[in-house]
């Protein structure tokens, strides 16, 4: 059973001039929507006809992925994003297709463990998982994206909160359309797998997600005004049970992830990696008993790590359906490098450190 939520009329955002060369993507990104202090502002829709690539070639529209900032074919981006609650219990590892995400949010849940809100748009896999239940902060994380959310279930009050958000809900507990299966080679309840590309294909009426962050060049923090420091490693402590870390790998220009001191790999066997790591210090609301609720509406301390550098600043989010805005200590927009991003929602009771 699909829960058809009220669908927000979102215009496709972030598209730049058609026919732009991929080699100039960083310049276009910085000039077209990287300069705006508010990345939620939608760039004007492009109406010019695409220029032909060759004498006999059909016109191809070149745009940019709104959640990655990378070059993409315009027609390939005309579909919704899908946000999925992904398990991070030890028995749920390795997860499926984390390296194909556009965004991943890591959040504290009960028992000091963490779970992910993983978001796919530019590269939607056939299968993702393991899928787990919703939590009270998830509507605030997912609402700015629109599109689809998929999860296994959850407490009735949390499910109701998610259903009230402006997204289409797909719930394992109520699904009778075959979008979810249980994997024979995984222990329950860490075995629920979602047919992600099929879920997206069933909702062609939904628009692409809006741009969420400002993007710059491949080394977006090089400008001295950001006062970025060279960084070889990032350490984050959510609780006594969860302490993810990231090591800069210059060879691949990515951050390589570890959990509790061990290399973190996905089901493909690849090391989990990210082009950008955004670390946010967040408050925790304990009004739901043993279930912590990450406070997403407000502001706090933040760091952006990209291209082996880290810049300090603040994050702010004005409303549940508003995007996160990252601002440097100098007052400029903190830009990301084009590529995938992990957003680490580290409680203020935890810790963060950056090694030179």
Q: Which of 77, 97, 124 is at the close of a domain?
A: 77
CA 1 – CA 162 distance, rounded (Å):
15
- Domain shared by 275 and 339, yes or no: yes
225-261: pLDDT as tens digits: 999 999 999 999 999 999 999 999 999 999 999 999 9
Domain count across the chain: 3
302-330: pLDDT as tens digits: 999 999 999 999 999 999 999 999 999 99
**Residue 251: per-residue pLDDT:** 97
Q: Which of 57-61, 158-162, 201-205, 300-304 has the lowest mean pLDDT?
A: 57-61
**Which CATH number belongs to the domain containing residue 169 in this structure?**
3.50.90.10
- Domain shared by 181 and 141, yes or no: yes
**Residues sharing a CB contact under 8 Å with residue 22, sequence separation 6 or more, in sequence order:** 62, 71
Alpha helices in 100-204 (DSSP H): 138-142, 156-163, 196-201
Q: Which domain holds residue 260?
A: 224-355
121-173: pLDDT as tens digits: 999 999 999 999 999 999 999 999 999 999 999 999 999 999 999 999 999 99
**Residues sharing a CB contact under 8 Å with residue 29, sequence separation 6 or more, in sequence order:** 16, 64, 69, 215, 216, 217, 338
**Residue 173: per-residue pLDDT:** 96
pTM, to two decimals = 0.84
Mean pLDDT of 47-72: 64
C-alpha separations of 35 from 232, 286, 300 in Å: 28, 38, 22
**Residue 224: per-residue pLDDT:** 97
**Residue 73: per-residue pLDDT:** 94
- Domain shared by 195 and 228, yes or no: no
**Residue 59: per-residue pLDDT:** 54
- Domain shared by 173 and 243, yes or no: no
Q: Which of 38, 56, 77 is at the close of a domain?
A: 77
- Domain shared by 86 and 162, yes or no: yes
Mean pLDDT of 55-76: 80
Strand, helix or coil at 327?
Answer: strand
- Domain shared by 231 and 321, yes or no: yes
- Domain shared by 260 and 316, yes or no: yes
C-alpha separations of 252 from 111, 112, 198, 228 in Å: 35, 32, 31, 20
Q: Is residue 6 part of a domain?
A: no
Residue 61's pLDDT band, with cuts at 50, 70 and 90, is low
Q: List b or e across 93-107, with b for residues whose CB sees 16 or more CB atoms inside 10 angstroms.
A: bebbbbbbbbbbbbb
- Domain shared by 310 and 342, yes or no: yes
Q: Is residue 14 part of a domain?
A: no
Q: List b or e across 117-142, with b for residues whose CB sees 16 or more CB atoms inside 10 angstroms.
A: bbbbbbbbbeebbbbbbbbbbbbbbb
Long-range contacts of 165-168 (CB under 8 A, 24+ apart): 165/5, 165/139, 165/320, 166/5, 166/6, 166/7, 166/8, 166/321, 167/5, 167/83, 167/142, 167/143, 168/2, 168/3, 168/4, 168/5, 168/7, 168/80, 168/203, 168/206
- Domain shared by 273 and 176, yes or no: no
Q: Is residue 2 part of a domain?
A: no
The token duo for 191 is 């075995």
The token duo for 134 is 């919703």
- Domain shared by 148 and 62, yes or no: no
Q: Is residue 65 part of a domain?
A: yes
Q: Is residue 210 part of a domain?
A: no
């Amino acid at each position: 059973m699909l829960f058809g939520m009220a669908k927000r009329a979102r215009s496709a955002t972030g598209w730049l001039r058609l026919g732009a060369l991929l080699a100039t993507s960083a310049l276009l990104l910085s000039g077209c929507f990287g300069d705006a202090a508010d990345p939620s502002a939608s760039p004007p829709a492009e109406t010019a006809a695409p220029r032909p690539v060759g004498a006999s070639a059909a016109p191809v529209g070149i745009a940019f992925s709104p959640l990655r900032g990378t070059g993409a074919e315009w027609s390939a981006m005309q579909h919704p994003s899908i946000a999925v609650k992904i398990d991070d219990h030890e028995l749920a590892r390795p997860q499926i297709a984390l390296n194909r995400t556009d965004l991943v949010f890591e959040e504290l849940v009960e028992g000091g463990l963490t779970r992910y809100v993983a978001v796919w748009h530019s590269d939607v896999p056939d299968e993702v998982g393991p899928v787990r239940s919703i939590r009270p902060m998830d509507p605030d994380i997912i609402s700015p994206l629109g599109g689809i959310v998929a999860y296994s279930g959850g407490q009735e009050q949390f499910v109701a909160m998610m259903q009230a958000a402006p997204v289409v809900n797909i719930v394992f507990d109520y699904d009778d359309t075959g979008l979810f299966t249980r994997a024979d080679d995984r222990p329950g309840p860490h075995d629920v797998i979602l047919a992600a590309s099929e879920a997206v294909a069933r909702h062609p009426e939904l628009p692409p997600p809006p741009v969420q962050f400002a993007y710059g060049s491949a080394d977006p923090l090089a400008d001295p005004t950001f006062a970025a420091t060279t960084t070889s490693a990032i350490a984050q402590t959510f609780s006594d049970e969860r302490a993810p870390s990231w090591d800069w790998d210059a060879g691949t220009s990515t951050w390589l992830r570890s959990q509790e001191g061990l290399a973190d790999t996905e089901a493909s066997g690849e090391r989990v990696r990210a082009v950008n790591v955004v670390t946010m210090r967040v408050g925790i609301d304990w009004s739901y008993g043993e279930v912590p609720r990450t406070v997403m509406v407000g502001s706090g301390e933040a760091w952006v790590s990209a291209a082996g550098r880290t810049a300090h600043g603040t994050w702010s989010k004005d409303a549940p359906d508003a995007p996160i805005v990252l601002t440097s200590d100098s007052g400029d927009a903190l830009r990301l490098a084009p590529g995938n991003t992990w957003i680490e929602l580290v409680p203020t009771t935890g810790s963060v450190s950056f090694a030179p």
